[in-house]
């Protein structure tokens, strides 16, 4: 089993509590804002969504996921990404499992401070897509998540506070689709209450960490710093 563990912060603070800056959220000159360069326009046939039917029973949704995984188990070119994120004590734990045929399970864990659940989910999806698309001989990526609302943000060209992640994801997908017309990505939704075995493994890992800020007073310090910065800007 391959396992990677990284410490990342919403305020970009490293493990030594050194502050580097603030994540940007809007890149108006990014190519994805150009109608002639947008991934959703040029590669609309390369991505798809499989949404859970709210009227169906959970066991039907679970069966569909199992059938998809079983069919993919014979394809060495398919990478399956299962994601999850949880927030406790202002620290979000994002975790993803990448399944590839005849390869060890890859786990990646990130701890992100002072971010929303949507940001945490998008960051997890972003890392998963980046890793899967760079795997040798992978032409099909399947992302399984219970945060389909976060996935929809990726393909929303309107201005929103999560664009730093969505632009990075779309840039990676643009490069991936350009490699071959056969390359594709699928987003599968599963209900959060569904006790699907692959997600149970990810959920268990995400909740196994009980982290607390090294310096809780930094929360108040960051707030004071923001007030001071706002006052300077207003002046």
pLDDT digits (tens, 9 = 90+) for 107-144: 888 887 778 888 889 999 999 999 999 998 999 999 99
List the CATH number of the domain containing 16: 3.30.420.10
Q: Give pTM, 2 decimals.
A: 0.74
Element (H, E) at 220: helix 217-234
Which residue range forms the structural domain that includes residue 144? 2-234
pLDDT in tens, 63-102: 889 899 999 888 999 999 999 888 877 778 888 999 999 8
Tally of domains within the chain: 1
Closest-CA residue to 150 (of 168, 123, 129, 128): 123
29-42 confidence digits (pLDDT tens): 666 667 777 888 88
CA distance 25 to 136: 31
């Amino acid at each position: 089993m391959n396992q990677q563990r990284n410490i990342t912060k919403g305020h970009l603070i490293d493990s030594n509590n050194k502050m580097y800056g603030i994540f940007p959220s809007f890149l108006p000159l990014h190519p994805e804002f150009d109608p002639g360069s947008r991934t959703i326009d040029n590669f609309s046939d390369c991505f798809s969504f499989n949404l859970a039917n709210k009227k169906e029973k959970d066991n039907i949704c679970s069966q569909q996921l199992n059938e998809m995984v079983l069919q993919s188990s014979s394809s060495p070119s398919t990478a399956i990404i299962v994601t999850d994120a949880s927030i406790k004590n202002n620290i979000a734990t994002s975790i993803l499992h990448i399944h590839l045929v005849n390869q060890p399970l890859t786990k990646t864990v990130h701890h992100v401070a002072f971010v929303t659940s949507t940001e945490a989910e998008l960051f997890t999806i972003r890392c998963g897509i980046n890793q899967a698309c760079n795997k040798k001989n992978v032409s099909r990526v399947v992302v399984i998540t219970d945060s389909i609302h976060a996935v929809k943000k990726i393909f929303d060209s309107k201005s929103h506070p999560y664009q730093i992640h969505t632009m990075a994801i779309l840039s990676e997908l643009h490069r991936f689709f350009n490699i071959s017309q056969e390359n594709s990505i699928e987003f599968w939704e599963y209900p959060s209450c569904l006790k699907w075995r692959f997600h149970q493994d990810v959920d268990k890992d995400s909740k196994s960490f009980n982290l607390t800020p090294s310096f809780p007073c930094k929360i108040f310090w960051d707030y004071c710093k923001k007030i001071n910065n706002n006052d300077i800007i207003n002046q």
